[in-house]
Chains A and B, each alone.
Chain A
Amino acid sequence: MTEQPAIRVKGLRKRFNRLEVLKGIDLEARPGDVVAVIGGSGSGKSTMLRCINLLEIPSAGTISIQGEAYAMRETRQGLQPADRRQVQRIRAQLGMVFQSFNLWPHRTVLGNVTEVPVHVLGVPRDEAEARAREVLDRVGLGAKLDAWPAQLSGGQQQRAAIARVLAVDPLAMLFDEPTSALDPELVGEVLSVIRDLAQEKRTMILVTHEMAFARDVATHVVFLREGRIEEQGPPDQIFGAPKSPHLQQFISSVA
């Protein structure tokens, strides 16, 4: 293989005290891949995603972004990041979209989108604003620049959160159930934005309960169960001809 994987996870384990949540995960996303992660509640999907940008600190295993592994060191409390600056630098290249949007309510939509470019990446303000207008236009919020997050619907907030990620032009995007907190009639507008991004070959890892959508946009589907990858493969195989009985059961239960 010639191409460097954008995200590579090897032997990832994570325990919370006594509870082992991830029991050895290997995962790769090459540039342009859309990896959909599915699985039951509590199977460890969020935890896995959060380990990728070190919001959770892995108990074991390595994670590399564009070939660069997080430098970790052993301490008495387990692994700890060895170089905070490296972590911050890598995080800034991984945009995360949360289930609960997590916009900053004290900044306008424009302020939310320019925040990271201006205050983390050091982009000049006018440049950042021009870019922000562009990405907000793309997600259909060109008219909401000066609105406060609290004035937006859930779907609009989530699209603003996606624009906030696009503004940093990330190497890869991490979505944690981006539509689970939305009213059913607002899900579509967010999914259509994500679909556009998938079509323009943005690398993403997408934790979702929207099976039809996963089947539609994913290049690769991973089924997580009890902290392990139970089955993975192209969407048609996973959804069309699942092998594991658990996966079969899972698919029929959500369909």
Chain B
Amino acid sequence: MPDIDIVTPLRPASLSRMGRSLTAFFLPHRIIMVLVALFALAMMIRTMDWSWLPAYMPRLWEGLGITMLMLVVSVVLGFILALPLAIAQVVGPLPLRWLALSFCTVIRGTPLLLQMWLFYFGLGSLLGQFPEIRETWAWPYLRQAWPYGLFSLTISFAAYQGEIMRGAFTGVPKGELEAARAFGMSRAKTFRRVWFPRAVHRALPTLGGEIILQLKATPLVATITVTDLYAVITKVRQDTFLTYEPLLFLVAVYLCLSGVLTVLLRWMESRVPDAR
């Protein structure tokens, strides 16, 4: 190992990038925090009852799958829906603007739990009263619970994200749009080439937080009989009469998921160029 590189003395000669970022990560206070966490974990494993875990593992995986599916699908569909909601509020004709605004206000202003129940118990049973609907291909789906859960989650994400995108659209500096106009861009092209990408760019930093909020909203689907991770844990608690162990397990899983999401979105954000 060469100890000092004389030509470029400022560059650490042998430390890899990975190694350097690791040493930068392990500051004293972090080391202590990690030790405390490890200790707590060890205590939990030693003193608590985890014997139920292997038997329920397949169901837990399934529940996790449903939770993730609910999250990913509702975020993607919700985001796609949010765009017209935002655009209508920013440049739409008055009736459309008003409609989009009231939609967002109503959805954001009422509890998601309530919406889910209204859709599931209200709309679900209403649809079942029409034989025309019972005979279509859609009925086998509509008589299950998950479409209503997914629908509510999607609508909710769309409303929140629509509001954020509206802010992002109006927040794009006028000068950038004016420059586009001054160079002879049509309105449509100005939108496509400048306004829209700039708005998405500006909304990106808050997207991570919104997705994590959405993750934390998914357990509500358990209240309408969808067996997501939370529902499986509830079942465990009923079967085993254990209180803390299943809940702690749940905490650990949600923490891991938010952690992974945070890291993933940070990385995505870092790949987008920095702009004012």
| B-binding residues in A (CB < 8 A) | 53, 55, 84, 87-96, 98, 100-106, 108, 115-116, 119-120, 148-151, 164, 168
CB pair B189 A120 closer than 8 Å: yes
Chain A residue contacts of B194, Cβ below 8 A: 104, 106
Chain B residue contacts of A102, Cβ below 8 A: 173, 175-176, 178-179
- Residues 187-229 of chain B: 1 if any A CB is under 8 Å from the residue's CB, otherwise 0? 0010001100110010000000000000000000000000000
Interface centre among B176, B186, B274 (most CB of A within 10 A): B176
List 15 extra interface pairs beyond A116-B185, A119-B193, CB under 8 A: A84-B186, A88-B185, A91-B184, A92-B184, A102-B175, A103-B176, A105-B273, A106-B197, A106-B273, A116-B183, A116-B184, A120-B189, A149-B275, A151-B274, A168-B183
CB pair B273 A148 closer than 8 Å: yes
Compute the total of residue contacts between A and B using a CB distance below 8 Å.
75
Q: In the bound complex, how far is the Cα of B198 from the Cα of A150, in angstroms?
A: 14
Q: In the bound complex, how far is the Cα of B180 from the Cα of A120, in angstroms?
A: 10
Asked whether any CB of chain A lies closer than 8 Å to the CB of B182, the reply is: yes
Q: Select which of A87, A94, A106, A115 is within 8 A of B201 by beta carbon.
A: A106
Asked if A91 meets B273 with Cβ closer than 8 Å, knowing A98-B175, A104-B176, the reply is: no
Size of chain B's interface in residues, with CB distance under 8 A? 22
CB pair A91 B181 closer than 8 Å: yes
Chain A residue contacts of B178, Cβ below 8 A: 55, 98, 102
Asked if A104 meets B179 with Cβ closer than 8 Å, knowing A119-B193, A120-B189, A148-B275, the reply is: yes
A-B contact pairs, 20 of them (CB 8 A): A53-B182, A55-B181, A88-B185, A91-B184, A92-B183, A92-B184, A94-B182, A98-B175, A102-B179, A104-B180, A104-B194, A105-B176, A105-B275, A106-B275, A116-B183, A119-B185, A120-B183, A120-B189, A150-B273, A150-B274
| A-binding residues in B (CB < 8 A) | 173, 175-176, 178-186, 189, 193-194, 197-198, 201, 273-276
Q: Select which of B179, B185, B274 is within 8 A of A98 by beta carbon.
A: B179
Measured between C-beta atoms, what is the minimum distance from A199 to chain B in Å? 25
Chain B residue contacts of A106, Cβ below 8 A: 194, 197-198, 201, 273, 275
Chain B residue contacts of A115, Cβ below 8 A: 183, 193
